[in-house]
Chains A and B, each alone.
Chain A
Amino acid sequence: MARKISMRQAINEALDQEMARDPSVFIMGEDIVGGAGGMGEIDAWGGVLGVTKGLNAKHPGRLLDTPLSESAYIGAAVGAAACGMRPVAELMFLDFMGVCFDQIFNQAAKFRYMFGGKAETPVVIRAMVGAGFRAAAQHSQMLTPLFTHIPGLKVVCPSNAYDAKGLLIQSIRDNDPVIFCEHKNLYGAEADVPAESYAIPFGEANIVRDGKHATIITYGMMVHRAMDAAAALAKQGVECEVIDLRTLSPIDWDTVIDSAERTGHVVCVDEAHPRCSIAADVSAMITQECFKALKGPIQMVTAPHTPVPFSPVLEDLYIPSADAIAKAVARSRSH
């Protein structure tokens, strides 16, 4: 039975259901319970934005608040996964990867290959991504391209509550390391979400709007900007297909190429910086695979090549807008 719940609740429900299903699943991270060892309330926070609130009472002993030591506890999650557990580690903000990246990209990502296929590391690292929260340069980045670049990692970035639940359940059941990126501005966004457990397979993009004149390819928060742009363009008689990639590694090239071939006009939208971004990656692949089907140059709409600024007026300029996306569609169609 579907109800309208927020992405925050959907993620909480996915964690709850998977912990109930599989005793090897446990959660660790900074303040994921909150109040550990203090004189006040336990489960005081349930994570810095309340995503894991209430889980401690349902699964006592299986939520571990950690010291502020990302290298140690992310590495411990990786080590526990290599020893048969299924840890879900919360990194809080993906920006914090700077202090623990070795454990992710040199350890977790490489074990299977380096050890000749004899290792499985089913760890999930959840972290907040994205700008718009007035959290400035070190708490707002969209670092998805950095992880997508690394063989051995899977990278997920849902745009809504329904996908968040199904993709997180898949992430926990998956036998490879998964970086699960949660856009902090989507936690409150509600969608119809079934109460029962379900998994969404990786590598299956979602066509969230059909259209024949142009294709907009994106993921995460930018899906909503793309939908706004498509709605505005529809009023002018331009029908855009909007593709939500949902997972960046693996990525659904078939859906991307098929749509590009049908419409001939492509706009790649990414909240990441332009260089070596998901947008650049998708643009290159489309050019290689279906150049002759293109009727205009592929357009990229991304954040600028700057850190995320603090001042709200600057941050709003930083984030790709629906207007910028609509203009990019028009630029491609002007050829």
Chain B
Amino acid sequence: MTAPNSTAGIFPLDKQGLLEAYRTMRTIRDFEERLHAEFAKGDIPGFVHLYAGEEAAGTGIMMHLNEKDRIASTHRGHGHCIGKGVDPKGMMAEIYGKVSGSCRGKGGSMHIADLSKGMMGANGILGAGAPLVCGAALAAKFRGDGGVAISFVGDGGSNQGTFLESLNLAAVWNLPAIFVVENNGYAESTSRDYAVAVDSFVDRAAGFGLPGVTVDGLDFFAVYEAAGEIIRRAREGGGPALLECKMIRMYGHFEGDQQTYRGKGEIDDIRANKDCLKLFSERVVEAGVIQRAELAAIDRDIGAEIEEAVVFAKAAPLPTARDLTTDVYVNY
């Protein structure tokens, strides 16, 4: 007999783990939805690329990592940052270009990093994170500390030579590196089917001697279980692997993108049927493991947290002329 609220045999996480997963996904969603609204008001400078709709993938992977593990992210990096434990207040202030930001206002949305959390940076250059992750994995291997490093790349970025070279390097050196292809169907405005000739990214992995697996990236549990297996294998010295997450992008490539390249009804269908947060909530509630009221309480908490982050970011001081020339070198 199982205790009330037990998840045994139903889910790979206990109740606390499920609530934690939901909290992370909800934080990412609210962070991005709020940015969408604030950007429309014209208060946010530069380019912003939102991770909304992709939360299940980043969260399902990141829940297997500790602070020793490293990740390198993409343009669409806010979700990876939050999943890896970067403070949303610092992130929000960074996106507003404030000196209280994660990177003192010098990085912006496309370059948020927090090395103390193992987050090696969102990256303005597509595919550039893969070689860096080989280095992080090499450092872990030299130290023998059991750490792994994860490179996130989109279906578009996966066409870069840096990414393909890195698959080979990680394979020949048997590095604890994992390459996650977040296949949201679009490279900017160009469809995945136009720009990638193979049917599956797993075929690409096979071409470099790496095992690979494709999962439904909207299904948190599918991602969580596949990532867990791949990460465990890498930690034990089994080498690199590729994980393809098939997912959707709720918004445009960047904020302001009119998305005229989308099919008719595509976005309505995404909202109605392909929202990974809704899918997660329905699963755990229908299983009787978590009550709707418990999720609603988290929603309220996160709503307040994001509001606080925006208030903090708006009130935070701007950098001064003095900041322009600092931190180019450690010493010069």
Contacts and interface: CB of A to CB of B under 8 A. Distances in A.
Contact of B131 (A73, A81, A119, A154): A73
B318 interface: no
B161 interface: yes
A307 interface: no
Contacts of A67: 165, 168-169, 172
Contacts, number: 149
A76 B137 CA distance: 9
B139 A75 contact: no
B121 interface: yes
Nearest to A84: B139
Interface stretch (A47-55, A104-112, A308-316): A104-112
Given A74-B131, A114-B106, A115-B115, A80 B162 contact: no
Interface in A37-89: 64, 66-67, 69, 71-85, 87
B329 A116 contact: no
Interface residues of A, number: 44
Interface string B100-142: 0111111100010111100011011100101111111011101
Chain A interface secondary structure, helix, strand, loop or mixed?
A: mixed
Given A72-B162, A82-B120, A107-B125, A116 B107 contact: yes
Give the one of B103, B111, B133, B165 with max A CB within 10 A: B165
B136 A176 contact: no
B172 A78 contact: no
Contacts of A71: 131, 161-162, 165
B121 A111 contact: yes
Interface in B281-332: 326-332
Given A67-B172, A176-B331, A114 B139 contact: no
A78 B132 CA distance: 6
Contact of B330 (A78, A116, A120, A203): A120
B173 interface: yes
Contacts of A175: 330-331
A114 B111 contact: yes
Contact of A72 (B104, B105, B131): B131
B139 A83 contact: yes
A158 interface: no
Nearest to B323: A116
Contact of B125 (A79, A106, A118): A106
A122 to B, nearest CB: 8
Nearest to B124: A106
A250 interface: yes
A113 B327 contact: yes
B70 interface: yes
Interface in A140-180: 151-152, 154, 174-176
B132 A75 contact: yes
B131 A115 contact: no
B81 interface: no
B24 interface: no
Contacts of A81: 135
B59 interface: no
Interface string A16-35: 00000000001000000000
Contacts of B104: 116-117
Interface in B170-184: 172-173
Contacts of B169: 66-67, 69, 72-73, 76
Nearest to A61: B142
Nearest to B166: A72
A82 B132 contact: yes
A78 B165 contact: no
Give the one of A69, A76, A119 with max B CB within 10 A: A76
Contact of B173 (A64, A74, A111): A64
Contact of A115 (B111, B125, B329, B330): B111
A40 B172 CA distance: 20
B131 A75 contact: yes
A102 interface: yes
A218 interface: no
Contact of B113 (A76, A80, A115, A174): A115
A79 B173 CA distance: 15
Contact of B162 (A102, A117, A118, A176): A102
B82 interface: no
Contacts of A250: 332
Contact of A103 (B70, B113, B131, B149): B131
Contacts of A75: 128, 130-132, 134-135, 162, 166
B25 interface: no
A132 to B, nearest CB: 32
Interface string B195-228: 0000000000000000000000000000000000
A180 to B, nearest CB: 16
Contacts of A69: 165, 168-169
A85 B102 CA distance: 23
22 contacts: A72-B130, A72-B162, A75-B128, A75-B132, A75-B135, A76-B134, A76-B166, A78-B135, A80-B136, A82-B135, A85-B139, A102-B128, A110-B111, A116-B101, A116-B107, A117-B327, A118-B114, A151-B328, A152-B328, A176-B329, A176-B330, A203-B332
Interface of B: 70, 72, 101-107, 111, 113-116, 120-121, 123-125, 128, 130-136, 138-140, 142, 149, 161-162, 165-166, 168-169, 172-173, 326-332
Interface of A: 26, 64, 66-67, 69, 71-85, 87, 102-103, 106-107, 110-120, 151-152, 154, 174-176, 203, 250
Of all A-B residue pairs in the complex, the 4 with the closest CB atoms, nearest first, are A75-B131, A79-B135, A116-B104, A117-B327
Given A102-B162, A118-B113, A118-B116, 18 more contacts: A26-B142, A66-B169, A67-B165, A69-B169, A75-B128, A75-B166, A76-B131, A76-B134, A78-B132, A80-B139, A103-B162, A114-B121, A117-B327, A119-B113, A120-B330, A152-B328, A174-B330, A176-B329
